[in-house]
A and B are shown apart, each in its own frame.
Chain A
């Protein structure tokens, strides 16, 4: 398959998922209005405000925060000429500005990129990935990471996290009012809906946070698939990234700090994949990614 078709398909799908997020917010607002009447709407600005402040602070300083959490150290060109060369090659192929290059002291092979925009981006490699892969494979990994930068995935995941966060805060708040407020509907005089609507709105409020989480994870998986395809646009060499993913597949060591907070930024999920089902993971399964790249190799 051609990378251009795959790219637009992935972009469309993640766009649809973000749209689904928007619909979910609308649905929660409707449930709110149905159950609590107009006074319930007053809670929305608070929930959105809290979510915005918590997520966008970390979005704005994403490069610094992630660097601290993962223990990545910025290197200079003289420290690793080959790695620096690899990164600047992909910058030329993509037209991106040169990011900061960092190393994480960890024997597990992995890599990540972050930053609020291409000008503030950081690309980091573990010492494990540098020793496990040859030049062509590392080029594929670099292209995948810089594809995240080019596709503005830090921004996309920040938007997804904000919406999911707002929904979680909102529903949590409302469930508390329902339980501790004696189940009372505050102003029943202006919300005299039929009982079915009331029941549906309760179900929506209960299920919304889970749905938001699943949507957020689905967006993350789509962006990973998109980054693989964009990487091929940069290198025009699906085999490099495919072989890199095969190296990751064979490797059983996982990154030491298994914080779920930064799990989504690595090229391969650092969490134990067998413990979680596909629905709850931030990355598509490696076999699926390898198969897609293989299809691109034979198609071009």
Chain B
């Protein structure tokens, strides 16, 4: 009788020891999914801002067609991207194209003074921040998951939790890789 109770307790303890790391892996995997969804939400927001921005700039600088074309191309590419690497590449291209557009606006004082453009510019820079914070948050979560997959004791339960290492969101844009500027 006693040995049965001991056996049941032992099995319960073993099951518990297995469940905790497995649940941890699943939870980390879900948080990576959520962080990824946040990136997509913010990229979509930025994408939705673009027609309005382009129209506003066109009203003052209609002949800068090359800049506009770069943005339209980048936007088209971003809608078809699905994998992390593709989305990141399209995102990088879009960031570059938008910086090009903002650089062009420097030459049009009337445009820069228009209240419509100022509101758009604030919204764009806020969205750019949101996109880059979403990337950072995603990469932090991927780091957490990938570390758990490689380290003891969670590495024993990778198959049971049905998770695998996730790719980092690496954006191919030299401007974003630069360390933050220090201003004195």
Q: Which residues of A contact B (CB under 8 A)?
A: 81-82, 85-86, 88-90, 92-95, 135, 139, 234, 236-239, 297-298, 300
Q: Which residues of A contact B183 (CB under 8 A)?
A: 239
Q: How many residue pairs between the two chains, A and B, have CB atoms under 8 Å in the bound complex? A: 47
Give complex CA distance A86, B122 in Å: 10
Chain B residue at minimum C-beta to C-beta distance from A136: B183
Picked from B119, B126, B179, the residue with its CB within 8 Å of the CB of A89 is: B126
B108 within 8 A of A: no
Inter-chain contact A88/B136, CB cutoff 8 Å: no
Secondary structure of the B contact surface, majority rule: helix
Q: Nearest-CB distance from B29 to chain A (Å)? A: 15
Q: Nearest-CB distance from A138 to chain B (Å)? A: 12
Q: Which of B130-149 contact A (CB under 8 A)?
A: 130, 133-134, 136-137
Range class of the B interface residue count: 20 to 34
Picked from A81, A92, A234, the residue with its CB within 8 Å of the CB of B134 is: A92
Q: Which residues of B contact A (CB under 8 A)?
A: 31, 35, 38, 42, 119, 122-123, 125-126, 129-130, 133-134, 136-137, 179-183
Chain B residue at minimum C-beta to C-beta distance from A237: B180
Secondary structure of the A contact surface, majority rule: helix
Q: Which residues of A contact B182 (CB under 8 A)?
A: 239, 297-298
Q: Are A89 and B122 also in contact (CB < 8 A) when A237-B180, A239-B180, A239-B183 are?
A: no
Q: Which residues of B contact A81 (CB under 8 A)?
A: 119, 122-123
Q: Which residues of B contact A95 (CB under 8 A)?
A: 31, 35, 137
Inter-chain contact A85/B133, CB cutoff 8 Å: no
Inter-chain contact B133/A93, CB cutoff 8 Å: yes
